[in-house]
Structure 1
Amino acid sequence: MAKHRLQEAIDSLKTTKVRMTPQRHAILEYLYESMTHPTADDIYKALEGRFPNMSVATVYNNLRMFKEVGIVKELTYGDSSSRFDCVTTDHYHVICTDCGKIVDFHYPGLDEVETLAEHVTNFDVSNHRMEIYGVCPDCKKKSTH
């Protein structure tokens, strides 16, 4: 599944005439295979062994470009570093309050929330975001030991 979605992202970039460099490919591959909603620093640290001449700025610039062409979403939570998500369809996030892990969560019942909000408030709704907070299974295990 991740390989198929990675190939779709690569094909999408090709249609925008973006040259597929080894670094770009590695950044995309990391995003699609890890599914951890990494920061730019996380990606840089994971790839610096393979690309010793790649800078953090290169990672940021590529993520910004991926965001502009619509193959990556930037997630901002408070003051912390932005995290990047390669799942660009509507979904929600469950966030661990202990370790910061973010997990995707889809609830089809909320698909109509924007339409309902427009109807009830007469706003022109452009988007929405919902975050759910709790303690992940790994942190729960740690706290019981």
Structure 2
Amino acid sequence: MKESLGQDRRLTNQRKIILKQLQSVTSHPTADELYDMVRQHMPRISLGTVYRNLEVLSSLGLVRKLENAAGQKRFDGDMSRHHHIRCTHCGKVGDIFGAPDISDIEEKLDTDFVISGHNLEFEGVCPQCQ
């Protein structure tokens, strides 16, 4: 992994720890939840620092930001091609692997947009909320 990603985009020690913690879980934590995890390794880190670094890591394409219609943000450290399912009751997000690859649909769409990607999210009720 590159140590330098451009001006203000260096992979600092804080960013490395935040990224490592995010990549170690599959729970798609909020920034607050990730802050609690990161504080175990960096007790003096602030919540604002975690928020800012998550935005930088997201803009660099190192983490995926998942935002629901209500504006709640969760983060995913797994950048492999996969989809998500969100519980409509509690907001929990899970991964869906093995779904058919729909990226060829982008090429077949009748639009004058330059398509840069897609986001497919399923909704349902998780086992804990059923």
Q: Same fold (TM over 0.5)?
A: yes
| Cα RMSD (Å) | 2.1
- CA distance in structure 2 between the partners assigned to 1:25 and 1:109 by the alignment: 31
Where in structure 2 are the equivalents of 1:57-136 lying within 5 Å?
Answer: 57-106=48-97, 107-117=99-109, 121-124=110-113, 125-136=115-126
- Quote how far apart the aligned CAs of 1:19 are: 4.5
Structure of higher CA gyration radius: 1
Taking structure 1 as the reference length, what is the TM-score of the superposition? 0.73
**Correspondence 1:52 to 2:43:** yes
Select the residue among 28, 34, 37 that pairs with 1:37: 28
Percentage of matched positions with identical amino acids: 34
Aligned residue pairs: how many?
125
Runs of 4+ with >3 A deviation: none
- Bigger share in helix: 1
- In the alignment, structure 1 segments of 5+ residues that lack a partner are 1-10, 141-145
**Larger RCO: 1 or 2 (CA < 8 Å, sep 6+):** 2
Contact 2:87 2:126 in 1 (8 A): yes
- Quote how far apart the aligned CAs of 1:15 are: 4.5
Taking structure 2 as the reference length, what is the TM-score of the superposition? 0.80
- In the alignment, structure 2 segments of 5+ residues that lack a partner are none
